[in-house]
């Protein structure tokens, strides 16, 4: 039975529209031309995944989970999140940092990885359409990152319902 | 009868640019850069010595348009951009015997550096020396050992070379800024010159340049850091022929031409200064595009502000700003590209940078630009 190995969460400040999942060197050159499901893109060179948000400058609530297999996707999940998409990525670094603008020292903004290999990353996002910028009391944009080791698969869009996602996928 | 065993002195006097007074040097440092850096004083003043006079004061020139190529400099000039430097001296040389002129030559010294914005632990510097116009056989016996004076950086060594007249001798070095702290260094090449029958002397061979090296996280790969010359502002260019960011480019162009001050216009006294301060950035954004601003008239538009919220000149501290609604994807992409570009130039907290809108059509008139962009305050659709 598939289980959750570890989880961490943190409020992440973004200043350029993305939450960045990076390796220990805290850096990527990757600039996606397209976003899977209007939500996520994985760097072909590995060790980087970028998640586009509904706001340019904001505090985003991020949950990061490491699973030992594909996490279940139930009806509750589908209802709780506006957009859900999956990508595969090579990951060599011992950690996955999602702090984006932090100093790289906050362990609450890092997920320890089990080792180098190919990973599947499922990104779920909600409250993407509630304005930019937002006032106190407005919904906080949130992202859940679920990570597990798995062979490479085609990227897939599980759910796409937000206006923000359509902004990025409609041409 | 001349005392052939007299020890003369090789003296080299070279000028560093008047602005570049050395600070924190290892070894003797002199405010007057015409003085030798190190050297043995002759115990006699027999007057049999080589004297190098002051080089012509180099003229500071501006680098050519920003590009990937390192700067170059003609003789008598000095130039640097954010990642490379060059100074080119012409140093008169005189040979004295018993205090009387007995010959002359010219020493040409070109010193260059190419910093690495992604590696503080190795970047390249070079000194090229050439002796010309000798009027005495003694000129063919001069040998040079070139080194660097630095504050914290270390430099590799280069072999001593004989300055064969009219042959350029090249001395290549690898420099490194150790540690992980942010370091403002002072680096200048100098030469130790010797010739049979003469005491060694030394002098500067180029301008003092001041690189800054750091390992700030999330700028470039953290393990290697990088270096720049921070006195040269960074530059962010927005291409109005690039469909991914053109909306933002038009807005910035309008703002630079119509606000009370030319914020970020290259070469003016109004560069922007980068900030990573989360509360300031949020305040700038909220002031320009917050609750007092109407919501976008239709989906797909985003509020864009200039000067950028990620600068000290943003709306939270500066009432002279512009905002408008424009293509949301352009707004998002431009911010991401700008962040990457400034990171690549190692534009750190409070560093100045300019913003240049490029590929503007020659046919664009002020009236046409006014039609494209509305007045201060959001509400005019891109």
Q: pLDDT over 90 for what percent of chain B?
A: 62
Cα atoms in the 13 Å half-sphere on the side-chain side of B152: 16
C-alpha B318: how far from its chain's center? Answer: 29
Q: pLDDT over 70 for what percent of chain B?
A: 82
Q: What is the pTM of this model?
A: 0.89
Nearest one of B356, B259, B351, B364 to B305, comparing CA atoms: B259
B254: left (phi over 0), alpha (psi -120 to 50) or beta: alpha
Confidence of residue B8 (pLDDT cuts 50, 70, 90): very low
Nearest one of B243, B272, B255, B240 to B352, comparing CA atoms: B272
| Strand ranges, E, within B265-361 | 272-273, 301-306, 322-327, 352-358
pLDDT value at residue B19 = 27
pLDDT tens string B9-25: 443 433 333 223 222 11
Residues of B in contact with A27 (CB under 8 A): 218-222
Confidence of residue B372 (pLDDT cuts 50, 70, 90): low
Which three-class secondary structure state does DSSP give residue B157?
coil
Q: Say whether residue A94 is in contact with chain B using an 8 A CB cutoff.
A: no
- Please provide residue A124's backbone torsions phi and psi, each rounded to the nearest 5 degrees: -120, 140
Size of interface A-B (CB pairs under 8 A): 72
Asked if residues A70 and A2 have their Cβ atoms less than 8 Å apart, the reply is yes
List CB contacts of B111: < 8 A, sequence separation 6 or more: B85, B86, B87, B88, B89, B125, B126, B127, B128, B189, B205, B206, B207
Structure tokens at A142: 């949130």
Residue of A nearest to B311 (CA): A15
Q: Say whether residue A98 is in contact with chain B using an 8 A CB cutoff.
A: no
The answer to whether B299 contacts A135, with C-beta atoms less than 8 Å apart, is: no
* Average pLDDT of span B123-142: 93
C-alpha distances in Å from residue B242, one per residue of A166, B131, B247, B360, B374: 22, 51, 9, 11, 21
Which three-class secondary structure state does DSSP give residue A149?
strand
Lowest mean pLDDT among A37-51, B34-48, B57-71, B245-259: B34-48
pLDDT tens string B244-268: 999 999 999 999 998 999 999 999 9
The answer to whether A15 contacts B278, with C-beta atoms less than 8 Å apart, is: yes
The answer to whether A56 contacts B221, with C-beta atoms less than 8 Å apart, is: no
What sections of A2-149 are H helices per DSSP? Answer: 75-80
* Average pLDDT of span B286-297: 86
Lowest mean pLDDT among B97-101, B163-167, B199-203, B253-257: B199-203
pLDDT value at residue B18 = 28
pLDDT value at residue B337 = 98
* Average pLDDT of span A152-159: 97
**How far apart are alpha carbons B137 and B129 in whole angstroms?**
18
pLDDT tens string A95-145: 999 999 999 999 999 999 999 999 999 999 999 999 999 988 999 999 999
**How far apart are alpha carbons A96 and A10 in whole angstroms?**
13
pLDDT tens string B205-257: 999 999 999 999 999 998 999 999 999 999 999 999 999 999 999 999 999 99
Residue of A nearest to B217 (CA): A103
DSSP A61-103: EEEEEEESSPPP--HHHHHH-SEEEEEEEEE-SSEEE--TTS-
Residues of B in contact with A109 (CB under 8 A): none
Tell which of B332, B339, B378 to mutate to test the A interface (max A CBs under 10 Å).
Answer: B332
List CB contacts of B367: < 8 A, sequence separation 6 or more: none
**How far apart are alpha carbons B190 and B294 in whole angstroms?**
63
**How far apart are alpha carbons A82 and A79 in whole angstroms?**
7
Residues of A in contact with B310 (CB under 8 A): 15-16, 57
Asked if residues B82 and B113 have their Cβ atoms less than 8 Å apart, the reply is no
C-alpha distances in Å from residue B9, one per residue of B44, B52, B107, B200: 9, 11, 17, 6
Mean pLDDT over the full length of chain A: 96
Mean pLDDT over the full length of chain B: 83
A54-63 burial: b if 16+ Cβ within 10 Å, else e? bbbbbbbebe
Confidence of residue B378 (pLDDT cuts 50, 70, 90): low
Asked if residues B109 and B144 have their Cβ atoms less than 8 Å apart, the reply is no
Asked if residues A168 and A157 have their Cβ atoms less than 8 Å apart, the reply is no
Residues of A in contact with B281 (CB under 8 A): 15, 57
B77 preceded by cis ω (within 30°)? no
Question: Is the ipTM, as predicted for this complex, more than 0.90?
Answer: yes
Q: Is the pLDDT of residue B192 over 50?
A: yes
Confidence of residue B101 (pLDDT cuts 50, 70, 90): confident
Q: Is the pLDDT of residue B30 over 60?
A: no
pLDDT value at residue B102 = 84
* Average pLDDT of span B5-10: 39
The alpha-carbon gap from A42 to the nearest alpha carbon of chain B, in Å, equals: 16
pLDDT value at residue B21 = 27
* Average pLDDT of span B59-72: 79
Asked if residues A144 and A9 have their Cβ atoms less than 8 Å apart, the reply is no
Asked if residues B20 and B33 have their Cβ atoms less than 8 Å apart, the reply is yes
Looking at per-residue pLDDT, the higher value among B294 and B270 belongs to: B270
Q: Is the pLDDT of residue B114 over 60?
A: yes
The answer to whether B335 contacts A56, with C-beta atoms less than 8 Å apart, is: yes
List CB contacts of B271: < 8 A, sequence separation 6 or more: B233, B264, B352, B353, B354
Nearest one of A6, A47, A15 to B284, comparing CA atoms: A15
- Please provide residue A88's backbone torsions phi and psi, each rounded to the nearest 5 degrees: -105, 150
The answer to whether B340 contacts A29, with C-beta atoms less than 8 Å apart, is: yes
C-alpha distances in Å from residue A68, one per residue of A8, A110, A120, A147: 15, 17, 11, 8
Asked if residues A40 and A20 have their Cβ atoms less than 8 Å apart, the reply is no
DSSP state of B26: S
Structure tokens at B329: 């994807």
Confidence of residue B364 (pLDDT cuts 50, 70, 90): confident
* Average pLDDT of span A62-86: 95
Q: What is the largest CA-CA distance in chain A?
A: 43
The answer to whether B222 contacts A52, with C-beta atoms less than 8 Å apart, is: no
Instruction: State which H helix or E strand residue B331 sits in.
Output: helix B328-344
CATH architecture type of domain A4-164: Sandwich (2.60)
The alpha-carbon gap from A145 to the nearest alpha carbon of chain B, in Å, equals: 21
pLDDT value at residue B377 = 59
Q: Is the pLDDT of residue B177 over 60?
A: yes
DSSP B244-273: TTHHHHHHHHHHHHHSSS-TT-TTSS--EE
Confidence of residue B373 (pLDDT cuts 50, 70, 90): low
* Average pLDDT of span A28-42: 97
- Residue given tokens 């948000």 in the structure block: A53
**How far apart are alpha carbons B137 and B135 in whole angstroms?**
7
Confidence of residue B68 (pLDDT cuts 50, 70, 90): low
């Amino acid at each position: 039975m598939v289980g959750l190995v570890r989880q961490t969460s943190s409020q992440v400040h973004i200043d350029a529209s993305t939450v960045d999942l990076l390796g220990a060197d805290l850096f990527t050159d990757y600039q996606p031309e397209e976003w899977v499901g209007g939500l996520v893109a994985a760097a072909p060179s590995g060790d980087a995944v970028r998640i586009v948000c509904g706001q340019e400058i904001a505090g985003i609530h991020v949950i990061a989970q490491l699973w030992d297999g594909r996490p279940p996707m139930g009806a509750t999940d589908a209802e709780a999140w506006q957009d859900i998409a999956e990508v595969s990525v090579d990951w060599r670094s011992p950690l996955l940092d999602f702090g984006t603008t932090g100093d790289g020292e906050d362990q609450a903004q890092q997920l320890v990885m089990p080792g180098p290999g190919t990973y599947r990353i499922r990104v779920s996002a909600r409250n993407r359409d509630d304005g930019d910028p937002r006032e106190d009391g407005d919904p906080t944009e949130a992202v859940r990152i679920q990570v597990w080791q798995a062979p490479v698969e085609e990227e897939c869009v599980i759910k796409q319902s937000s206006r923000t996602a359509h902004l990025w996928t409609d041409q | 009868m001349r005392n052939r065993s007299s020890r003369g002195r090789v003296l080299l006097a070279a000028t560093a640019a008047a602005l570049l007074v050395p600070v924190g040097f290892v070894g003797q440092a002199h405010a007057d850069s015409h003085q030798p850096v190190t050297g043995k004083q002759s115990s006699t003043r027999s007057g049999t010595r080589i004297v190098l006079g002051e080089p012509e004061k180099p003229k500071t020139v501006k680098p050519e348009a920003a590009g990937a190529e390192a700067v170059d400099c003609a003789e008598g000039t000095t130039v640097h951009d954010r990642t490379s430097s060059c100074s080119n001296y012409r140093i008169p040389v005189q040979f004295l015997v018993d205090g009387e002129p007995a010959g002359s030559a010219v020493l040409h010294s070109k010193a260059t550096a190419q910093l690495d914005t992604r590696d503080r632990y190795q970047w390249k510097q070079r000194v090229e020396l050439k002796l010309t116009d000798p009027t005495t056989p003694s000129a063919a016996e001069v040998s040079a050992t070139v080194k660097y004076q630095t504050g914290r950086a270390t430099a590799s060594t280069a072999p001593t070379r004989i300055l064969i007249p009219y042959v350029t001798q090249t001395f290549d070095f690898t420099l490194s800024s150790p540690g992980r702290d942010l370091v403002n260094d002072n680096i200048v090449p100098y030469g130790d010159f010797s010739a049979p029958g003469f005491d060694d002397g030394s002098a500067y061979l180029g301008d003092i340049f001041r690189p800054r090296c750091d390992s700030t996280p999330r700028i470039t790969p953290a393990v290697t850091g990088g270096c720049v010359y921070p006195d040269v502002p960074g530059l962010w260019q927005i291409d109005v022929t690039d469909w991914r960011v053109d909306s933002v480019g038009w807005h910035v162009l309008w703002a630079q031409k119509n606000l009370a001050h030319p914020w970020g216009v290259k070469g003016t006294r109004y560069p922007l200064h980068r900030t990573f301060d989360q509360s300031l950035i949020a305040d700038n954004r909220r002031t320009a595009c917050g609750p007092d601003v109407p919501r976008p008239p239709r989906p797909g538009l985003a509020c864009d502000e200039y000067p950028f919220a990620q600068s000290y000149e943003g709306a939270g501290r500066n009432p002279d700003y512009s905002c408008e609604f424009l293509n949301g994807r352009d707004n998002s992409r431009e911010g991401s590209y700008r962040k990457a570009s400034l990171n690549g130039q190692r534009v750190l907290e409070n560093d100045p940078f300019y913003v240049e809108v490029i590929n503007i059509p020659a046919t664009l008139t002020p009236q046409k630009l006014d039609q494209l962009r509305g007045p201060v305050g959001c509400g005019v659709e891109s």
